[in-house]
Amino acid sequence: MSTTATFYHAGCPVCVAAEQGLAESLDPAKFKVDIVHLGQEKSRVEEAERAGVKSVPAMVIGGQVYHINHGADLAALKA
């Protein structure tokens, strides 16, 4: 059974590096990676916020939030 790992980003260079370096490096036998561009999917900003995401890029796995480096604050994406 695979767990969903949700990777939230905003297309920034820091985000792209984290996507290629980490999000795409998860074990495909264990995880289904859902990549969400919050700049393009504004409707999911609230979902990210509820999950505890404060900045992007961030990965949410099993309810845990992992902020990876710092590209942009989530607040900036709500504007």
Interface residues with a copy of itself (CB under 8 A)? 5, 17-18, 21-22, 25-28, 30-31, 59, 61-62, 64-70
| Residue among 42 and 70 whose Cβ is closer to a copy of itself | 70
Handedness of CA 50, 40, 2, 56 (dihedral sign): negative
| Residue among 15 and 45 whose Cβ is closer to a copy of itself | 15
Least distance CB 2 / a copy of itself (angstroms): 11
Q: How far apart are CA 68 and CA 40, in angstroms?
A: 20
Q: Closest Cα to residue 4, out of 35, 25, 46, 40?
A: 35
Least distance CB 55 / a copy of itself (angstroms): 11
| Residue among 62 and 79 whose Cβ is closer to a copy of itself | 62
Instruction: Quote the tokens at residue 41.
Output: 């999917």
